[in-house]
Structure 1
């Protein structure tokens, strides 16, 4: 059900199977699924509308023979209408978001759920842009047309993890065999247990952002004598990082005891830093390319030396 302004959208989320014949669902399955649904809608809204339009997800439990159903009431803030009236880019309504996610059957949108079901765990080999915001996804010679916005949602790791919590996690519990969404008493989407694996979020790929090389003085906190192990350094200020030492000549001198380290010794080195976006956020990897100087951390005492009377 959609209101006139498009800011509210209601549908029925139904879990079915032998375990639910008495209209009961284990709270250990239900609570994470409901939280995941909230995360799913909030993440999609953030991707499509940014920070300015907020959403809320309310739950009303209801019952149907042989299943456990939950009425999901999704709402957006009135700030959406302010943005629209101000002439900025129109915000995606709640109905639009649910359509793009594939939770709604209205407007015949090929949404996230439909794309994932079509992929069946296969990787996209090519994306071809079409007109009017549409794209064509290829898996070898097989293809599917959808919206560019849907592809953006499908590629988002946090959204995929939330969808996993709504679909895959409950379906892999004993006694739950299907999950559906029902809109205006019509089934919009129906997923069986044997499809649950398709909705597991794939491992995200790290995305390289930048790479820079610089010279720095590093204090050695921990040494690693096995090949490939990382040393631990600090540049001061309390922050530490691990780095692979790639200077083979320096490592050989260390192995032959030609370079001997005491606690907190300092090296001056050429360092390469690679910044990446990962599933956990921004990460920096470090490599020590060349050790230019090695010195003791013990400070020197300034000697006042006199070599005779001044002229």
Structure 2
């Protein structure tokens, strides 16, 4: 079995401000910030490497004096280096991950932190592919060239949420005025963020991605009726089948319900035209249902066979 290969990358994280003059930082600000740094690097590794490599971020020894600085060691374990060397999709090293994120500076790469800072919470109006994995971002007349890999990280909600926890949330605490990242204590900062820039790192609300949309006719059993506007009805397909909530958009049908022209008893059945959408959300895969048209409404009470026989009519 191939031995694991360990690669390391270190950076120095510094928070500064009047509240930190005694080289102390409130654990309620520090702990979430450190967890966010760990989540940031782990998510970037997951995006580019999947389960081919694992990363961990550890506090190195004791906290350093001066403002409030922390040495962080980022370790990446690659279980099969031999396979990676011949792969057409090699593992992205931890050094490259830190560069793409903006935690280290190499070869003039604009990392995620720099790009988010440039965006300043504004909407990107156009993305133009250039060449060699570079794209140009436009916000009206302004533009910025970045690597496609950096853009991929900028668009990831978990990355943006981790940046929020590392930068915006600590700077929201009274007396913490800036955060800097540098390769080692005393070095020139790779990035320095002042408190008035903190809001730029607030994670935008994630967009749901529609994966599939289908319309079909089916019979549904009504288990709960909502009479208030925008409330969703509850349906089941019966016999241990799927149970779901759905918005009813058949306006004439809803008007008849409001006028008591449609009366429902428990477990009544409707035949309806349904739209079902599968979406990828921040919480995973989700299905949403809409009742587009109610085609038939019938009582759930089964009818008995009367066994009636009619005499033949003689001609």
TM over 0.5: yes
Could you tell me how far 1:65 is from its partner in structure 2?
A: 4.1
1:139 to 2:145 alignment:
no
Matched, 1:127 2:122: no
Give deviations 1:97-120, integer Å, cap 9, x for gaps: 000001102222101000011111
Match of 1:152 in 2: 152
Alignment length (residue pairs): 305
Alignment of 1:187-206 (within 5 A): 187-206=189-208
Q: Is the 8 A contact 1:105 1:189 kept in 2?
A: no
Q: What's the CA shift string for 1:136-168, capped at 9, x where partnerless? A: 111111111110000000001111001100110
Counterparts of 1:38 and 1:65, CA distance in 2? 22
Q: Which moved more, 1:164-173 or 1:7-16?
A: 7-16
The structural deviation recorded for 1:241 is 1.9
User: How far is 1:172 from its partner?
Assistant: 0.8
Which residue of structure 2 lines up, in the alignment, with residue 104 of structure 1? 104
Q: CA deviation at 1:61?
A: 5.0
Alignment pair present for 1:247 and 2:245: no
| 1:20 Cα deviation from its structure 2 partner | 1.5
TM-score, normalised to structure 1, is 0.91
Residue in 2 that maps onto 1:28:
28
SS at match of 1:54: strand
Show the 5 A alignment for 1:1-311: 7-79=7-79, 81-185=81-185, 186=187, 187-236=189-238, 237=240, 239-303=242-306
Which has the larger displacement, 107-116 or 73-82?
A: 73-82
**Structure 1 residues 121 and 80 mapped into 2: Cα distance closer, same or farther (>3 Å)?**
farther
* Distance across 1 between alignment mates of 2:61 and 2:18: 19
| Structure 1 gap ranges (5+) | none
User: Alignment partner of 2:200: what SS?
Assistant: helix
Secondary structure, in 3 states, of the residue corresponding to 1:69?
A: strand
Q: Distance in 2 between matches of 1:77 and 1:109?
A: 24
Shift of 1:21: 1.6
Q: Verify the 8 A CA contact 1:6 1:95 in the aligned structure 2.
A: no
Distance 2:286 2:152 in 1: 22
The two structures, once aligned, show a CA RMSD in angstroms of 2.1
Change (3 A) 1:261 1:92: same
Q: Residues 208 and 57 (structure 1 numbering): CA distance in 2 closer, same or farther, change over 3 Å? A: same
Q: Distance in 1 between matches of 2:197 and 2:152?
A: 22
CA distance in 1, matches of 2:125, 2:102: 22
Work out the CA distance in 2 between the residues paired with 1:255 and 1:123.
43
Q: Bigger CA drift: 35-44 or 282-291?
A: 282-291
Matched-pair contact (CA < 8 Å) for 2:63–2:71: no
Task: Give the conservation status (yes or no) of the 8 Å contact 2:6–2:77.
Answer: no
Deviation at 1:252, TM superposition (A): 2.7
Q: CA deviation at 1:275?
A: 2.0
Gapped runs of 5+ residues in structure 2? Answer: none
